[in-house]
Amino acid sequence: MSTCMFLLDRQHDRFVVIESRDESVYRPHGFEAARKLGLEHRFSYGPQWHANPILRDRVWTIQAATSPALADVVSGLDIDGGSWLAFHRGTGVYARIFAEAPTGAEFVSPSGLPIDCATADSAQEAVQLLEKRLVPALGGSGKMPGFTMLIADSQDAFVVAFDGRDSVTATAVTDGHPHVLTATGPAADDEFGKRLQDQAEGTQAPSAKLSSWAPWLSVYTGAAADAPDYTDERWLASTYSAVRPPYRDTADSNRYKNVALFPVTDPSQAAWTKSVSIYSARKTGAELFAYNERQLFEYQPLPTDVRRMGLPTTPDDFFVVIANENS
């Protein structure tokens, strides 16, 4: 249920992206994941792989995770030690993966790949790394679930797909207008994604200045014009917004409905938008990275009032990790 909206602007040598990550409400995330992993520096997004060598032994990577480039890689931290998002401060290379969690001991998690890609010198080289080395590197290591990954810098953007067997394909993204990527693929394959992309087309694109993200945030976090209220039984997380309050993540007819109205017996089947991040890069590297996140603990009940959930609506709702003088 994660969503990514992005723009490659070659005219101004800039790449911008906003992404959200949906997960089980009680699954440790960000700062809490770092605490659970026993890390000294409990970053939600930071140079964890460089500062904590123990993480390098937890997650499978194509190449040895000892590159000096890791010192400038910022990544989100998952409870398993891997990441769904990583970027390099100096090169601006950005990698955001959409993947299913492995379901068997024979499967290798792809959550180390964003860090692999972020250490490449460019988006093109990151794509070549996956195309040439992923399948051979898996070799006797086991199987890996299929995934989709957005890899970009200020000059190029690619949507890379791995079929879970032996094929890695990369599609270059056209520049000059917004694109939307969801867990089901590009917007062309997703009704919700197409609507979001259409809304973004006529919206002023952001820059490195944090306040400039207000128009895109309004599109990304705003509900569709015909959306019922969250308290309405007709509300569906998969249809009306990229930023979602708690919903049923089940395999039945009530999937994506308000979990307060349609309760689950297994708490892990209640999901919501755990984090939202915004990013801007130019030839000189990363310009701006800011995030918004939330964490529920097992003793906390599910919130029902959207206004009290901390979901972002304005640039002021984000924590700035990297900012230049314009932010």
CB atoms within 10 A of CB 143: 12
For the segment(s) 3-322, the CATH number from 3.40.109.10, 3.60.60.10, 3.90.320.10, 3.40.50.1100 is 3.60.60.10
Helices 191-201 and 214-221, packing angle to 10 deg: 150
Interval 187-198 mean pLDDT: 80
3-state secondary structure of 43: coil
The confidence score (pLDDT) of residue 201 equals: 92
**Residue 102 burial by Cβ neighbours in a 10 Å radius (0-12, 13-18, 19+):** middle
DSSP codes joined into one string, 265-297: SSGGGEEEEEEEEEEEEETTEEEEEEEEE----
pLDDT digits (tens, 9 = 90+) for 26-79: 999 888 999 999 888 888 999 998 988 888 888 899 987 788 889 999 999 999
pLDDT at residue 192 is higher than 90? no
d(CA 291, CA 273): 12
pLDDT of residue 185: 72
What mean pLDDT is predicted for residues 185-191? Answer: 72
pLDDT at 316 over 70: yes
Tell me the pLDDT tens digit for each residue of 154-176: 999 999 999 988 899 999 999 99
- In this predicted structure, what is the pLDDT of residue 188? 65
* pLDDT score recorded for residue 222: 85
Percent above pLDDT 70 for the chain = 97
The domain limits of the chain are 3-322
Task: Find out whether 157 and 172 touch, Cβ atoms under 8 Å.
Answer: yes
Is the confidence at residue 255, as pLDDT, over 90? yes
Report the SS3 class of residue 107: strand
Q: Can you tell me the distance from the alpha carbon of 229 to that of 182, in angstroms, rounded to the nearest whole number?
A: 23
pLDDT of 140: 66
The alpha helices in 165-251, defined as continuous H runs, are 191-201, 214-221, 237-240
